[in-house]
Amino acid sequence: MPPIENVEIKKQYGNIDVLCVINNRFPIIIEDKTNTCAHSGQLDRYYKQICSRKEFSASDIIRIFFKTYDQSNYAKIEGDGYRVFTRTDFLRILNQYTQTHSDIFNDFKTQLNELEASVQSYQTMPKEKWTNSSWTGFYMALKERLGREDSACNWKYIPNQNGGFMGFWWSFDTTSGITSHVQLEGNEKINRLVFKLKTATPTKAVYASWSKKLVKLSSEFDLSIIKPKRLGSGRSVTVALLEHDFRIFNDGVLDMDATVALLRKAECILDRAKESFEIVEQRHTTPA
């Protein structure tokens, strides 16, 4: 890009949060999100809107998705051609300026640093004091540690009649029309690791057989997996769960390595269960 000679900033131009035009040639679309996500094809619509203006070339348009809070993944955002600029990215810039006379700047920087500290609090905070922000930071780190960047590995807040929880789910696979995965659920009262099944044609006998298999396999991995008190009969059912907290703490501090190792065991248990049911299915379908 050539030296910047002039900058024109337009707010809410065609519903775009900020449109910044540099040197009358380079338009920068900035979509500013906090706790919300992109929706209704708005990102692609904004890009096409600027493309339609004759004074701009499509190759000169820069698209920025500015996110001061956190979300599970940005695959769709990046697929729409946007570069993600996160709170962490922003703080790297803001924290370079330690002495300013702008109260607005200082207050905003303080607010973002406090938010970042709350998200990272899972690393030092006792488990009974974890907040939704703590769970968010933990899940973000967990996704990276598990090496899962695909859209099938996600986390978000799940509202329900009991007050809701922060959920994390991964290790999806489908066997004989049944989709299985591992799910974590956490809030100030609960911390559960559960094995979930989902099928279009619920069969309680099938759910019971998966539950029995998962419990049996868990002894091989030195985990205490138990059946739920009540085995549901809907399309999405918890068929087994870890008897204790899936997080491992040493001296009141989260041991991330040990916690990830436990979750890897849960993955292996589910994989082994899937393999056993695949073998049974093959026996039933292979001609004599």
> Using CA atoms, how far apart are residues 166 and 250, in angstroms rounded to an integer?
23
Query: How would residue 285 be classed by pLDDT, with cut points 50, 70 and 90?
Result: very low
**Tokens standing for residue 161:** 């009649």
For residue range 41-68, list pLDDT tens digits in order: 889 999 999 999 888 999 999 999 999 9
Chain center to CA of 192: 17
Yes or no: say if 9 and 43 are a contact pair by the CB < 8 Å rule.
no
Confidence of residue 1 (pLDDT cuts 50, 70, 90): low
What pLDDT score does 12 carry? Answer: 79
Distances (CA, A) of 13 to 38, 56, 164: 17, 15, 37
pTM: 0.88
d(CA 239, CA 131) in angstroms, rounded, equals 27
Average pLDDT score over residue span 71-81: 90
Query: By C-alpha distance, which of 242, 249, 224, 241 is closest to 129?
Result: 249
Q: How far is 16 from 52, CA to CA, in rounded Å?
A: 14
DSSP class of residue 2? P
> pLDDT class for 148, splitting at 50, 70, 90?
low
Q: How far is CA 148 from the centre of its chain?
A: 10
The mean pLDDT value of the chain amounts to: 90
pLDDT of residue 38: 75
Closest CA to 8 of 55, 68, 52: 55
Report the Cα–Cα distance between both ends of the chain, in Å, rounded: 70
- List of residues 6+ apart from 34 with CB closer than 8 A: 67, 68, 69
CA 253 to chain centre: 23
At 7-43, the pLDDT tens digits run 999 887 888 999 999 999 999 999 998 877 777 788 9
- Average pLDDT of span 80-102: 93
Q: What is the pLDDT of residue 224?
A: 96
Task: Say whether pLDDT at 252 is over 60.
Answer: yes
Q: Does the pLDDT value for residue 287 go beyond 60?
A: no
Alpha carbon 268 to chain centroid distance? 21
